[in-house]
Structures are given as C-alpha cells and as structure tokens.
Structure 1
Amino acid sequence: MVATTPVDRLTPGDHACLTFTDPEERLDILAAFVAAGQARNERIICFTDAPDADGLRAELLDRGLEAGGELTVAGSDRLWGSGTGPDAGTMVELLARELAQADRDGRAGLRITADMCWAARPQANAEQLLVFESEVGRLFAAGRLTAICQYDRESFDPVTLAYAARVHPRTVAATVYHEDPVLRICRQHVPPGVRVAGELDYARADVLSDALAEAVRLDHDVHLNLNHLRFIDAGAAAVILRTAAHLPESRRMIVVCPEPIERTLTVAGAAEVPTLRMLVRNGER
C-alpha cells in the first residue's frame, strides 16, 4: 500500500491520488495544492465536475488564493477537447501541450488537479481510465509536472478505487488527529488551522488541545473550522477559549461555526477573550 503524503509535502514530479468523501476536506487539499503552485510560479489547471468551474474558482478565492493568470479552472470536458467523450490519448496529448506551454511561458512547471468523475459517465469507455492513468505517467519523468487525480468515493466502486490507489506513486489526505464514529479532528491547510466535525465533549478535549497546540506552533493566526460540528460541551469550549487566551496580543484565533456552537462559546465566556474572533454562518460576531 502506498503511504499517505500530506499535500504540502508533494514535490515537483509527484503523481498523487486523492480519494475523498468530505467535499470540504477535498477543497481544502486542492487549495493547498494550488497555493503551493502559485508560490513556485507554476502554471496551474484545475479540471472539475462538481463544483463546476465557477464554483471551484469561488471556493479557492474564498480561501484567500489569488486569481492570477497562472491559474485556470475549467470543466472536465475540456480534457478531451472537441471530442464527443472522454478519450485517454486525447487527454494525455492535451496535458503534454500544456506542459510545453508552461515551459515556453517561463513557468517553473505545470500543476494539474483533475476530477476523475468523467470516468464514471455513461459515455466513458471503461478502459479509458486505465489507459489514461497508465499513459500519463510518462509525463512526470522530467520532474516538471505535478498532479493530483481526485476520486469521489460515492462515484466509484471499490475495485476502481483500489486500482487508482495502486497506480499512483503517492496518495494525499489530510493529517488526522482523531477519528471515531462521532468525531473527526484534522489539519486544515487553507487557511491554516484545525477542522472539527461531529460531536465534541470533555472526554475528547485532550485531543482537541493537542491539535490546537500544533496549530499554535505552526501558524501565526489559528483558524478553527467548526462548520460541521453539531455539538460542543462546556469542557471542550473551555479548551478553545483557553488556547485563544494564551495567544500573544498580535495573534488571533478565528473560529468559524454555526449559531448553536457560537452560543455555547459565548456562554463559556468568548466575549472576554480579546484574541478570539468568531465568524458565524450568515453573520459575524
């Protein structure tokens, strides 16, 4: 089995696979991947089915990325040009041309992320995915192409997902601090911080404390994404407020959450912590 690589540790020439079930986690990983390409002055193309091109561009911009000329967001159908349906040979040729164009433009390389849901469309020949993943490998030899192929677990059967994992030299996923049937805590890349989903109580407060401690070490401002948190008790809320209160005056903890979570944090004393800022769905506190 190929070991999982954090997205921020991919290097030029890497060909990675991302299988996902959480759309927000997928978008966070893509944002980090695009940000790394912008920092390296690479040509970047994002091929997407869902969200569509405009939707994905908006999601990336919402995460603070720049809409520079090096970034192109396009529908997956652009991969096969004027053809009536997906064709592996056509797609590999297009990527080869884009790589050559990046060289002519003086870019450091080409960075591609592709939503592979095209392979699940009725008009896609079942063999096209196998051919594409096999043939595209030769483009990585020079170390100027970096790519993530995305596979939505709800769109592909287990055999296809296993094949995808096997043919990619690397797989990418979020760094997970804790996961059980009711709670998931993982690293958020853009903006940098921690994402928490599910139900959080005092029994798991130590895990949250450890995750926040790493974010305090790594990031200037700590972004805590609680958008998918359904419940938090007073003990876990106290961990958040205590971590924020211990930040220097020049730093902030930014908590994004729904209104029920905001109410619990407010009752716990959020207003008394000057280094804490809360952004609530449909409004700001």
Structure 2
Amino acid sequence: MADAVTVDQIVVGDHACLTFTEPDERMDLVAEFVADGLQLGQRIICFTDSVQPDDLIGELVLREVAARDAIHRGQLALRGSQDSWLAGGPVTAKRMLSAISDEMRHAESRGFPGLRVTADMCWATRAVVAADQLVAFERQAADLFAHGQLAVICQYDRDIFDPVTLAFAADAHPKTVAALAYHDTPLLRICRQHRPPGLRIAGELDSTHLEPLQHALAETFRLDHTIHVNLTRLRFIDVTAATAIAKAALTLPTDRTMIVTCPPVIAAIFDALGAAQAPQMRIQRSS
C-alpha cells in the first residue's frame, strides 16, 4: 500500500500519485510542489494536458509562485502534451521514459541538484493512446529513481479516469499526495491551503462543525503570519460559524491579518456581523 504524504514531504527519489476532483486543490498542491523545487534550486518540468501552459503559468503566479522569472532563468519549463507525449507519433512508455531521462540529463548538465516533474496524466485518456502504455510507463518508471535525483507527481483526475485505472495508479506509486484535511465529509471539507497559506473550506459550514473549524484555525495561526481563508467553494455558512471565524481574527496581533475570500452571499454574513471593521480581518469578494 502506498504511503500517504503531504506535498511538502516529497523529496528526490519519490514517485507519487495525486488523485483529485477539486481543481483548486490540485493547483494548490502543484504550486507548492513547484515552489518547493524552486527554493531548493532544482529544475522543474510541468507536463500539462487539461490546462494550457499559459494558463498554468497564470495559476502559479496567482498562488505567489515566481513562475515567469523561473522560466526566464531556465529553472522551470512547461510542456504541453502536444509538444511532448503526443508529438511525433504513437505514445509509448519508451518515449515517455526517454523524455524524462533527457530532462534528467539536461538538469544534471546545467548543475541543478535534482529534477522535479509533475505530469497531468489526462493524455492517457486520448483515443490515440493505448491503455497498456500507461500501465507500462508507471511500472517501468521506477528505474528512473535509482540515482536519487528525481521526484515525480503524477496527477489523475477522478472525473476522467475510471475506478480500475485509479486503483492501479494508487498501487503503482510508492506514495500518494493529498491535502491535509481537518474535516472531510460529503457536506464539508476543511483542508490546509499551501499557496497562499491558510485554509480552504468547501461545502456547508454551520455550528455543528465548530470543533474542526477551530482546530484548523489554530493550526494556520501557528504556521502562518498572514492567514488566508478560502471560502470560494462554500455554499452556506451560519452566523455561529461566521462569528467563530471573525472572533478568531480578533485574537491576532494588530500586525497580522486574516484575509477571507468568499462569494458575495457569504460576504454578506460577515458584513452583517461587522467583521470587516476589525483591523485584523479583510474580506475579499470572489466572482
């Protein structure tokens, strides 16, 4: 069984699987993986399929990753599937492994201490790709990690891949990556957000969930100077839960800030509480 780890625990030598349903959560984990590699001076390659390279750059910049500067100095590169796996003929495991091997040699020749690769695996659902090549790639990829210079996260969208393929992906990777979840049910998910640092809360939040909410807030207060509370996927919040968030912000020293990003209907609840008048709290309305 694969070991479950958080994205900031990934190091060279790791081959991990990221399965996701929430695009924002996936982008948060990818951004943290890239930012960690940049900080370590490693070379980073993002193979992207469902998101165009230019759009991916925008997503990284939005999450406070200096992507354009990193591309300019040659530390970060983005490869669309049409320019990598799907270019120049049928996709084979051999070609995919060869592409990563070439990137490893390139990184070593330029003096980078390691290579990080994140690969959007949606290319494997294309009609031109034989299903057995995905299986062969994941099984044979282990040979690439022998020298301890490579870290790879393979991204699998749960809305695109069938359960059998997802089960194989989890089994084929020594590690699985997921967000740190403080509460996870069909109605409510509270998890760690890496970039910008804080919390992401989605679903419906009411007074029955005060304990996990307060635990999550206490954790981000301990870890982060400026706390970002992302409520863009929150459908409902009651007055008790909104009050708990506002009161938590008031406990911050005046040189620290909680930034709450939320839809207008959620912002209206905080407005009714007078939360925006607190110097430690800022409300940002999302579209």
Q: TM-score, normalised by structure 2?
A: 0.95
SS of 1:19's partner is strand
Paired residues of 1:113 and 1:149 also in contact (CA < 8 A): yes
Unaligned runs of 5+ in 1: none
Number of the residue aligned with 1:100: 105
Q: Distance in 2 between matches of 1:154 and 1:234?
A: 34
Number of the residue aligned with 2:205: 200
Q: How many residues align?
A: 282
Q: How many percent of aligned residue pairs carry the same amino acid?
A: 50
Query: Does the alignment pair 1:154 with 2:159?
Result: yes
Q: Distance in 1 between matches of 2:94 and 2:31?
A: 28
Number of the residue aligned with 2:51: 51
Superposed, 1:124-273 pairs within 5 Å as 124-273=129-278
Q: Distance in 2 between matches of 1:271 and 1:122?
A: 52
SS of 1:227's partner is coil
Q: Distance in 1 between matches of 2:18 and 2:245?
A: 31
Query: Does the alignment pair 1:88 with 2:97?
Result: no
Q: Distance in 1 between matches of 2:87 and 2:205?
A: 50
CA gap 1:83/1:273 in 2 versus in 1, 3 angstroms: same
Equivalent position amino acid for 2:283 in 1: M
More displaced, 176-185 or 71-80? 71-80
Equivalent position amino acid for 1:225 in 2: N
Deviation at 1:196, TM superposition (A): 0.3
Number of the residue aligned with 1:111: 116
Q: Distance in 1 between matches of 2:225 and 2:146?
A: 37
Paired residues of 2:3 and 2:176 also in contact (CA < 8 A): yes
Q: Distance in 2 between matches of 1:55 and 1:262?
A: 28
Number of the residue aligned with 1:60: 60
Q: Distance in 1 between matches of 2:259 and 2:200?
A: 12
Deviation at 1:22, TM superposition (A): 0.8
Q: Distance in 1 between matches of 2:103 and 2:276?
A: 52
SS of 1:224's partner is strand
Number of the residue aligned with 2:40: 40
1:76-125 CA-partner distances (Å, limit 9, x unpaired) = 23333742232211111111111011011111111000011111110001
Q: Distance in 2 between matches of 1:24 and 1:141?
A: 33
Number of the residue aligned with 1:6: 6
Q: Distance in 1 between matches of 2:210 and 2:217?
A: 11
Q: Distance in 1 between matches of 2:106 and 2:183?
A: 43
CA gap 1:85/1:52 in 2 versus in 1, 3 angstroms: farther
Number of the residue aligned with 1:280: 285
Unaligned runs of 5+ in 2: none
SS of 1:80's partner is coil
Number of the residue aligned with 2:18: 18
More displaced, 67-76 or 175-184? 67-76
Q: CA RMSD in A?
A: 1.1
